[in-house]
Amino acid sequence: MAETSSTFRFRNGVGLLALLASFSLSVHAAWAESAAPTFRIVESVPEESIYGEPGVPRTQPVWLDMIRHARHTIDVAQFYIADKPGRAMSAVIEALIERANAGIQVRLVVDDSFLKETAPVLERLKPIHNIQIETLPTQRLTGGVLHAKFMIIDGRQVFVGSQNWDWRALEEIHEIGAAIEDTAIAGSFESAFDTLWALGGGRTLPQMRMQPPAERPIATGFAPAMLREPGGESVIAFPAFSPPMMMPTSLTAEEPSLVTMIHAARHVFRLQVLTLSALKHYGPKGYWPVLDTALRDAAARGVSVQIIVSNWALNEPMQSYLKSLAAMPNIEVKFSTVPQASSGFIPFARVEHCKYAVADDDAIFIGTGNWEWSYFNTTVDASIFVHGHNPAATLNRIFTRDWTGPYVTAISPGTHYTPIKPG
């Protein structure tokens, strides 16, 4: 969608996500007569848990449907891949192989730091005709990792979210993602993917940053896409990416988009993320003020800030940082502890791995990265920002079920919480 002053305006005079759906009637009518792209929130639900929003599709069926209906190309960017025979991820791998054998061109890029975990699946995929694999040396390039989790089908469908290609992410971890059908949004993800693919193939960062943009439509914060969510509401959306140094300059960056979203909140800002800290942990030590300042400023303006982190966030100094947030008026912080499965302890599972935020009743963010400095500055991540009442209502219901449920504990500045060992 072309950017014009009459197409949309920004709430409170700030840009990017704070979009009002003030479209002209002619734009609405023309779009309604066309084939409607879609936006769906997708949830992974740990077995034997309270999670699971009615009407929200589960991850594995969505992935299988997307892969099985691919007609030309499947591009996948993943941190790592972990399969276990007989579990939910096995069917996804088999579907990928089946489509490749049917002539679909498959490209898969993974981070080279987790090859031990990924190797068994890669060895199955490497001999398959039409499957190409690259490993990205992110640590060497930026000091981070390829942490993004997204899939692009035929240049028109995208899945992005907290779900790794891991059997646990389908059965034993709480995750939130989004399935999108739109060529401009897919074009943005293809631009990001092509950059990662070329870097995995040996191109340098300066070479890729100087490449002219491919001739494809893209969606950005200043030229978003219009989608239709399952309830029929027209919503506005754009993708964003991290880190800027590894992304084409034409794409929107995550960090400033999140700051804009927080600044635009008027009443309530809700965040659920695995870990959250303004203290740099990976890479150089120090203080990272960007999102921390935005959250505290929102609270100081009277916005109710509600935050859920996982119990993996209780290590120091992160625990002390979370207590400093909880000590502020208008900020509440809770951590969640998902009960272990009746079958016994599962390493690196039974956790809330979601990364999403909701501002008031009309703006959402669904991403792949945790809220720490490295995830925005050295590590590759991706997200989708959406302005629409129904998507916000859905995520607010998911958040409220958690916030008021039996698995969360409010963080008190005067209490010590014992860190856990996830593995």
Of the candidate ranges 25-39, 42-56, 91-105, 327-341, the one whose mean pLDDT is the lowest: 25-39
Are 186 and 150 a contacting pair, CB within 8 Å?
no
pLDDT for 10 equals 30
For residue 29, what pLDDT is reported?
36
Q: Return the number of other C-beta atoms located less than 10 Å from residue 327's C-beta.
A: 13
Average pLDDT over every residue of 256-267: 99
pLDDT of 268 above 90? yes
pLDDT of 400 higher than 90: yes
Residues 6+ apart with CB under 8 A from 280: 286, 287, 288, 372, 373, 374
Average pLDDT, the chain: 92
Strands (E), 118-233: 131-136, 150-153, 157-161, 165-166, 173-181, 225-228
- Specify the pLDDT at position 213: 65
For 34, phi then psi, to 5°, come to -90, 170
At residue 282, the pLDDT reads: 84
Percentage with pLDDT > 70 across the chain: 90
pLDDT at 107: 99
pLDDT at 155: 97
The string of pLDDT tens digits covering residues 177-219 is: 999 999 999 999 999 999 999 999 988 887 776 666 678 999 9
Structure tokens at 13: 């005079």
Question: Does pLDDT of 98 surpass 90?
Answer: yes
Pick the range with the lowest mean pLDDT from 85-94, 204-213, 308-317, 368-377. Answer: 204-213
What is each CA distance from 79 to 28, 123, 277, 334, in whole angstroms?
Answer: 39, 17, 21, 27
Helix, coil or strand: residue 163? coil
Q: Enter the tokens of residue 362.
A: 């009309």
In angstroms, the CA 389 to CA 396 distance is 10
Cβ(307)–Cβ(278) below 8 Å: no
- For residue 94, give the 3-state DSSP assignment: helix
| Residue range 303-312: mean pLDDT, rounded | 99
Residue 26 pLDDT > 70: no
Q: pLDDT value at position 283? A: 80
Confidence band (pLDDT; 50, 70, 90) for 174?
Answer: very high
- Which pLDDT score, from 0 to 100, does residue 212 have? 61
Q: Inform me whether the pLDDT recorded for 79 exceeds 60.
A: yes
Instruction: Grade residue 2 by pLDDT with cuts at 50, 70 and 90.
Output: very low
Q: How far apart are CA 150 and CA 165, in angstroms?
A: 10
Confidence band of 46 (pLDDT split at 50, 70, 90):
very high
Average the pLDDT over each of 144-153, 226-235, 327-336, 374-383 and give the range with the smallest value: 226-235
Q: Largest alpha-carbon pair distance within the chain?
A: 61
- Under DSSP, the state recorded for 237 is E
Tell me what pLDDT residue 211 has: 64
Helix (H) or strand (E) holding 356, with range, is strand 356-359
Query: Looking at 17-21, 112-116, 229-233, 307-311, which range is the least confident one?
Result: 17-21
Other beta carbons less than 10 A from residue 376's beta carbon? 23
How far separated are the first and last CA of the chain, in Å rounded?
Answer: 46
Q: Which domains does the chain have, with CATH numbers?
A: 38-410 (3.30.870.10)
DSSP, collapsed to helix, strand or coil, labels residue 332 as strand
State the pLDDT at residue 103: 99
Find the mean pLDDT for residues 299-319: 99
Residue 66 clears pLDDT 70, i.e. is over it: yes
pLDDT at 8: 29
Is the Cβ–Cβ distance between 345 and 420 less than 8 Å? Answer: no
Distance, in Å, from the CA atom of 335 to the CA atom of 329, rounded to the nearest integer, reads 18
